[in-house]
Amino acid sequence: MIWTPGVARAARRIAAAAAVGGGGLTALGVTAYGLLLAEGLVARKVIGRPHGMEGPTADGSYGDFPGVPISLVMLGDSTSVGLGMSDPAHTPGVLIANGLAAVAERPVRLRVFGRSGAASVELRPQVDKALKEHPDVAVIFVGANDVTTQTPPATAVRHLAKAVHRLREVGAEVVVGTCPDLGTVRPIGQPLRWVTRRWSRQLAAAQTVAVVEAGGRTVAFADILGPEFATNPSEMFGPDRFHPSDRGYAQAAYAVLPSVCAALELWPEPRPARDAQIPTGLQPIYLAAATAAEKPGTEVTATRVEGRATGPYGRWVTMLRRRP
């Protein structure tokens, strides 16, 4: 497990660099960056593209209910489009849309604008298309390609924050599934696996800071597929051992669904987490972001304490696990 205070400090540095447009190379330094450049190409060759680059067409209306449809848009990378699935019903967008429709008892109109291979710097054209749909809620899965393409974390975070801000400006709620822990992906060998694990979690923490500051909320993917991959990889991951299987996608979708419902004020107040190792309730943003990066399924959203949005250690947030 990565030392959380170190992740918090890295998240603070990345978020600060993103805010001012500055530039340290990465959170890990020049040596680690060079290692990723050299070994990343090997990992990508091993993974390959057995699924191609297109997911199944999932756009449509879901939920046999009366009323004005809720507009849901999916943005981000291959996980947002369900790459590897042949049946649209198994894609995250459709799973979230059907779940949202059942909770709201209203139809949900889904449009998927994510693109396989997309990194955070490529979110802008996706947001351009999404805004034309006048979305009620946007779900963004992004981060993995920022690591595999060695995008400087500050650059990735800056583009994600801009995307969230633009969506919030038009009144859309935004839920971001943060960067998954690529250290759980077996085709990535050591020492690259250790480097990608550390980079993934530092990026996820910085994403949380930026998204909450921009008015959205995050759900940590962390190693949400890690334990299942270790014990049952043939069922949780697809043929390329990188993208999820239908069960893997379902687990990711159902981790996000409660936060989507809560963002639209459709979900009741959550019960306290049963896991005693998961501190819930009020936290300073950097500590919450670092802790969430270690704990899959943890939501972080802004809150106020005695009418104030910030405290002595930064913005106040609520960190919790919602029950799917």
What are the catalytic residues? 78, 240, 243
DSSP for 207-233, please give it.
HHHHHHHTT-EEE--BTTTHHHHHH-H
Name residue, tokens 């690529």.
182
Cβ–Cβ under 8 Å, residues 279 and 291:
yes
Cα separation, 174 vs 161, in Å, equals 11
- Measure the CA–CA gap between 9 and 4, rounded to whole angstroms: 9
Decide if 300 contacts 217 (C-beta within 8 A): yes
Instruction: Decide: 59 and 112 in contact? Cβ < 8 Å.
Output: yes
Report the DSSP beta bridge partners of residue 109. 61, 71
How far apart, in whole angstroms, are the C-alpha atoms of residue 242 and residue 244?
Answer: 7
Cα–Cα distance measured from residue 185 to residue 30, given in angstroms and rounded to the nearest whole number? 23
Q: Are residues 211 and 217 in contact, defined by beta-carbon separation less than 8 angstroms?
A: yes
- Amino acid sitting at position 248: G
**Residue closest to 319 by CA, chosen among 240, 167, 186, 217:** 217
Look at residues 16, 308, 313, 305 and name the one whose alpha carbon lies nearest to residue 161: 16
Those residues with Cβ within 8 angstroms of residue 152's Cβ, 6 or more apart along the chain or in another chain: 23, 24, 25, 26
And the tokens for 218?
Answer: 């995050």
Cβ atoms of 220 and 298 within 8 Å: the answer is yes
Running DSSP on this structure, what letter comes out for residue 79? H
* Interacting residues of 244 by C-beta distance below 8 A, sequence separation 6+: 79, 84, 225, 236, 237, 238, 251, 252
